[in-house]
Structure 1
Amino acid sequence: MKLWHHLIFTLLLTVGLIGCGAQPAQPQAQEAAPAPPTETYTDENGFFTADYPAGWIVEPYGFGDEAPFPHVTFGSNQEIIDLSNAMKPLPEDQIAVAVMLLSSDMFAEAGVTAESSLEEVAPLVLMSMAEGDEDIAQAMTDATIEPVNLSNGTPAVRVTAAAPSEAYIVRLADLGNGVYIFAPAVIAVDSHNAELEGQIEAIVNSVNVTASSEEVMAFVMEKMGGMEGMEETK
């Protein structure tokens, strides 16, 4: 009988049902790394807001009349923004991200309707970036377009393209009310990495749009009207 008691006691110790001595150390849950600090940009017309890395340079409406729709550009410094606006090569591991609002009515003549998919709309938007530049036009023709979702579930497409002197990471999101978020980012050729991808993701996911499609289109028409008036006075 004593032998059975000894065997049972040994078994209980083995499976840990009787506490005795030091217990095995339990793995500690790792704390998530704190999110990098951000600042919030508010569009001067009240159309949208967007968060960007703290300390970055903000250039509202930096494309001027070449982009007659609500937009802003973010970059780590002014040189990066200037190079991006001029479509010139950026240093490695640097990125400039623009956030633009487009209206589906802008592409109505091309056959875009409320039922058009983002895969159908994206090539039209991408070609508008070329502005007569054959290298960029070819890059956009050869671009890779894949469906994704923003963090809130908004349908979007992710675009990657490369021209001889620069490369692009682009997001185009359909808000479902006739408004698109268009976010092209310029990077150095062959420098695409997870960090740069994460920076554009964070910015695009933070965008909060309050403008309607009609408001965006009215803004575009007003800007286009002003441009036509300037041309007539020349």
Structure 2
Amino acid sequence: MSDAAGRLAEVQGHIADAARRARRGADDICLIAVSKTHGADAIRPLIAAGQRHFGENRVQEAAAKWPALRAETPGVVLHLIGQLQSNKADDAVALFDAIHSVDRSSLVQALARACAKAGRQPQLFVQVNIGGEAQKGGCAVADLPALLGEAKEAGLAIAGLMTIPPAAQEPAPFFALLDELAGRHGLPLRSMGMSGDYETAVMLGATHVRVGTALFGARG
């Protein structure tokens, strides 16, 4: 408990410092604890320390551990931050409160059907492959307007954009571009920044940061 609380307080302090430097309020930034690959025993101490937003990469892994954890602690908010297969859209809509990886036409259509069937819509982010990396998910910058238009036509409300910058490059320009794209399209939320660069992301407009290692230590 004390270790988890200490790590959480340290990350929250860094977020607050970065927000202050950017003349923003720390309360405007949502800290998502990336719990992928970590079991319930590693997650519970962070919940006990007050953390409520958690991120998972895979629908199947989240479905195996989160229903029981949520029954223990009402108020947990679950974010899907990994790639989503269209055939898992129903499961994702049922389980997650936010999906950060909308990135292609087929997924937009699958999510629209799933949301209509479930009578609910998670908060949705379009993932943008700003670095143009072939191995990474996300729509190309040039394809963003069309994808946003298709989502609107399908009845989906897109709340923001998400990106993961190239690992070997300075992240600031990529964060700045995502912030500019979100502003251009009138989207209020920006999901960007991880354990190694979340302070930079906060300085450049992040509303959601996805932090795993700094909160949990090395992945299980």
TM-score range, shorter chain: under 0.3
Structure with more helix by fraction: 2
What TM-score, normalized by structure 2, do the two folds share? 0.27
Q: Higher strand share goes to which structure?
A: 1
Higher Cα Rg, which structure: 1
Q: TM-score, normalised by structure 1?
A: 0.26
